[in-house]
Amino acid sequence: MVVHLYSLNTLRLGYSIVSSTFASATKRFLVGGLKPSHISLQNHLLHRPIASKISANQHNFTVAYLINSCGLSPEDAISSSKWVELQSSQGADSVLALLSSHGLSKTQISKVVKLRPAILVADPEKTLLPKLEFFSSVVVSREDLARILCFNPNLLSRSLENQIIPAYNFLRSLISEENVVAVLKRSSWIFLENRRKNVAPNIELLRELGIPQSCIALLLAHNTKVLIHKHERFAAAVEEVKAMGFDMKKSTFVLALRALCGESSKSIWNRSREIYKRSWGWSDDDVISAFRKNPQCMILSEEKIMQGMDFLVNKMGWPSRVIATCPVILCFSLEKRIIPRCSVVKVLLLKGLIDEDFSLAYVILPQEQHFLERFVIRYINRLP
């Protein structure tokens, strides 16, 4: 309230200064006090501080609106005000109401405005509504739409006819409508990309190499970011995966490509290789063999690798290099799957009810019911 009163008083003061200055200058001209050439210079000199004052008032109003109506913190409001200047609250109020009517909460709207302040001066009927209606027709629920726009409000700033709909049609020509929605939820940035620059050439390269359409669809639906990489970098990653001996007709090729495409991904891969070698005694052949069996094992966090290996090797006694033959085990939850199952097996071993002649995969990989039948139900009477 104080901010509003301050802004209003400042605006009144600015208007008062403009009015009195204009009246004074006019009066002097009428009585012949100044020559026309001098009037032009005088007005110019007077106009500069007045314009500055008006601009400051508009800035104050914008900041106040961002705080009071959009829920931004003072710091965020000042930062966001660099990208938008409001003349009044009417248009911005309409934008906020439109977003709210399409399921965005106050918190989500605040985030959208913070990430994309210029949305407040967009035309709600002509610019925003058609895009909201389009995405509403594609996405299953209002909750999903709200989350998508909250994560990537830039979707509302691109042309519906020239960018968004063509991107949707391009994706729909390659994957199911359900998977298009999945892409929109996970990797909506592809709707903002120039698909002709990288995505289309990357897909064409995979086709030339004989990659099945099912694998291309898998990559597009679940690892979309890989296809957005620059074509030269993407092509280099494809050659590296091929050199490692991956079968290009299997889904593991796609997963390996994800692990090696991009500087950050390659950095994680190299970090994991060093952990397996330095801390657990794997050779380069062990690393490549494990990667071929399950590419996911090379992009796990350092903490997950270390905790999983420590439990399996140091607490359960399995040789480190045995895990390299079945690396998918490391991808399971340590707390929810690995520790509970291994604890059951350890009790059975201590009681002499089973021998040690079974593989780690025999314990960890089966579905829950199969594990229960093998290691729990069978011994329930002998070891309640």
DSSP 47: H
**Dihedral sign, Cα of residue 48, residue 50, residue 55, residue 59:** positive
Give me the pLDDT at residue 56, please.
63
Q: What residue has token string 């691109």?
A: 158
| pLDDT reading at 206 higher than 90 | yes
Asked if residue 234 lies in contact with residue 227, where contact means CB atoms within 8 angstroms, the answer is: yes
Asked if residue 109 lies in contact with residue 100, where contact means CB atoms within 8 angstroms, the answer is: yes
What's the whole-number mean pLDDT along residues 291-298?
94
The residue count of the chain comes to 384
Tokens of 243: 């050199």
Find the angle CA(188)-CA(171)-CA(190) to the nearest 5 degrees. Answer: 25
Q: How many CB atoms lie within 10 A of CB 255?
A: 22
CA 56 to the chain's CA centroid: 36
Percentage of the chain exceeding pLDDT 90 = 61
Task: List C-alpha distances in Å: 44 to 38, 41, 47, 48, 303.
Answer: 10, 5, 5, 7, 66
Query: Exposed, middle or buried: residue 304 (CB in 10 Å: 0-12, 13-18, 19+)?
Result: middle
Give me the pLDDT at residue 382, please.
87
Nearest to 53 by CA among 10, 82, 22, 87: 10
Q: What residue has token string 């709207």?
A: 109
Segment 102-117, tens digit of pLDDT: 999 999 999 999 999 9
State how far the Cα of 343 lies from the Cα of 276, in Å rounded to an integer. Answer: 24
State how far the Cα of 336 lies from the Cα of 291, in Å rounded to an integer. Answer: 24
Give me the pLDDT at residue 7, please.
40
> What type of residue sits at position 215?
C
Task: List C-alpha distances in Å: 245 to 76, 250, 262, 274, 358.
Answer: 51, 12, 20, 21, 29
Asked if residue 260 lies in contact with residue 270, where contact means CB atoms within 8 angstroms, the answer is: no
| pLDDT reading at 288 higher than 70 | yes
State how far the Cα of 51 lies from the Cα of 353, in Å rounded to an integer. Answer: 89
Segment 214-260, tens digit of pLDDT: 899 988 888 888 898 999 999 999 999 999 989 888 889 989 998 99
Give me the pLDDT at residue 57, please.
66
| pLDDT reading at 58 higher than 80 | no
Q: What mean pLDDT, rounded, does the chain reach?
A: 84
| Cα Rg of the chain, angstroms | 32
State how far the Cα of 45 lies from the Cα of 258, in Å rounded to an integer. Answer: 62
Sorting pLDDT into bands at 50, 70 and 90, what band is 263?
confident
Alpha helix segments (H runs only) across 36-187:
36-68, 74-80, 90-101, 106-115, 129-138, 142-151, 165-172, 177-186
Sorting pLDDT into bands at 50, 70 and 90, what band is 262?
confident
Asked if residue 78 lies in contact with residue 63, where contact means CB atoms within 8 angstroms, the answer is: yes
Tokens of 248: 């290009």
**Dihedral sign, Cα of residue 325, residue 330, residue 334, residue 337:** negative
Find the angle CA(268)-CA(234)-CA(259) to the nearest 5 degrees. Answer: 25
**Helix (H, G, I), strand (E, B), or coil: what is residue 159?**
coil
What's the whole-number mean pLDDT along residues 302-320?
95
| pLDDT reading at 29 higher than 70 | no
Give me the pLDDT at residue 278, please.
96
Q: Where are the domains of the chain?
A: 58-137, 158-261, 264-331, 335-383
State how far the Cα of 117 lies from the Cα of 99, in Å rounded to an integer. Answer: 14
10 vs 229, more confident: 229
Sorting pLDDT into bands at 50, 70 and 90, what band is 123?
very high
In this structure, what are the phi and psi dihedrals at residue 333, rounded to the nearest 5 degrees? -70, 130
| pLDDT reading at 6 higher than 60 | no
Asked if residue 279 lies in contact with residue 287, where contact means CB atoms within 8 angstroms, the answer is: no
| pLDDT reading at 20 higher than 80 | no
Segment 323-355, tens digit of pLDDT: 999 999 999 999 999 999 999 999 999 888 888
Tokens of 215: 């694998």
Asked if residue 86 lies in contact with residue 92, where contact means CB atoms within 8 angstroms, the answer is: yes
State how far the Cα of 339 lies from the Cα of 345, in Å rounded to an integer. Answer: 10
